[in-house]
Amino acid sequence: MVEAMQLTNVEVLQKPANEVKGKYDYVVGRAVTRLPDFIEWVEKNLKPNNGGNNHILRGILYMRGEAQVGELEELGVNPIIIELP
């Protein structure tokens, strides 16, 4: 995907979340666990939303087959859901 989109500022890591040490604007994951658990694992890896020179808000992009309403309610969030064909 990185090559297809010609992205140059991406670091792809394939390792358990607890082994990741860097700080990032975004963390991307796939449905390997409940979303609240995933957030707990990767929150330490998100850069702060401090404005400054970086106008990008930090975030988590989590891919899964279908939205789990109970998990989202537990987090108190209104997600952006993108339906793919």
Confidence at residue 44, expressed as pLDDT on a 0 to 100 scale: 92
Query: Given pLDDT bands bounded at 50, 70 and 90, which one contains residue 45?
Result: very high
Which has more pLDDT, 54 or 23?
23
Handedness of CA 23, 58, 63, 9 (dihedral sign): negative
Residue 40 has pLDDT above 70, yes or no: yes
Query: Given pLDDT bands bounded at 50, 70 and 90, which one contains residue 66?
Result: low
Give the percent of the chain with pLDDT over 90: 5
Residue with tokens 């500022």: 9
